[in-house]
């Protein structure tokens, strides 16, 4: 079944945020990519682009958290981290390093984009919560919340460096260091 115009707009917005960022994601390009009519935006998102991008960010967060939940069920924190970073490596290599994290794009939406930045904040909070749960399940008892925050920050920073360098090495380095830290804290 083909998704309706609302879902096509959201899916296109997520993809374009990852490729271009929020500011370079224009309505005309969103309409063209999603194959929807101009009135679809205002029918489904009366507040316009900001509401659409915020909805796309919330959906991107749900998808990411569903992925993290599935990884958490299958293994410990090391497994989750290794598979999550492997997914990013594949994304970067498949898209010639021209795709990034929609949460970072939404966080950088800028002044006057409160609902978009709030959605990014909520996405990062949810991601940190899932990582903290995984760390606790793996035997980490102290500094769990700060370790989860560090993990999100390290991965996001590594993604930016990887795009700039056109290399997955920053992600590999972050993976190595975070696994060592998890092992040290799980003892």
Q: Which two tokens stand for residue 5?
A: 């115009």
**Domain range summary for the chain, segments of one domain joined by +:** 55-185
User: What are the C-alpha distances in Å from 183 to residues 49, 139, 146, 160, 173?
Assistant: 44, 9, 15, 26, 16
Summarize the confidence of residues 159-175 as an average pLDDT.
97
- Structure pTM? 0.93
Digit-coded pLDDT (tens) for 84-138: 999 999 999 999 999 999 999 999 998 889 999 999 999 999 999 999 999 999 9
pLDDT of 187 > 80? The answer is no
Q: CA 127, 133, 137, 143 torsion: positive or negative?
A: positive
pLDDT of 75 > 90? The answer is no
Summarize the confidence of residues 145-171 as an average pLDDT.
97
Query: Cα(first)–Cα(last) distance of the chain, in Å?
Result: 50
Digit-coded pLDDT (tens) for 3-49: 899 999 999 999 999 999 999 998 999 999 999 998 888 899 999 89
Q: Which CATH number fits domain 55-185: 1.10.357.10, 3.10.580.10, 1.10.3720.10, 3.40.50.150?
A: 1.10.357.10
Q: Confirm if 14 and 102 have CB atoms less than 8 A apart.
A: yes
């Amino acid at each position: 079944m083909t998704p309706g115009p609302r879902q096509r707009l959201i899916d296109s917005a997520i993809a374009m945020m990852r490729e271009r960022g929020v500011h370079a994601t224009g309505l005309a390009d969103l309409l063209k990519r999603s194959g929807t009519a101009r009135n679809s935006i205002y029918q489904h998102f009366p507040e316009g682009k900001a509401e659409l991008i915020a909805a796309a960010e919330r959906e991107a967060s749900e998808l990411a958290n569903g992925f993290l939940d599935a990884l958490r069920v299958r293994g410990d924190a090391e497994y989750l981290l290794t598979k999550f970073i492997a997914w990013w490596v594949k994304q970067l290599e498949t898209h010639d390093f021209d795709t990034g994290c929609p949460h970072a794009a939404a966080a950088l939406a800028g002044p006057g984009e409160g609902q978009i930045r709030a959605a990014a904040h909520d996405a990062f909070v949810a991601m940190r919560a899932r990582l903290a749960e995984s760390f606790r399940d793996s035997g980490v008892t102290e500094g769990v919340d700060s370790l989860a925050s560090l993990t999100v920050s390290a991965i996001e920073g590594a993604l930016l460096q990887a795009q700039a360098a056109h290399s997955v090495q920053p992600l590999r380095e972050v993976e190595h260091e975070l696994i060592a830290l998890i092992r040290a804290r799980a003892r």
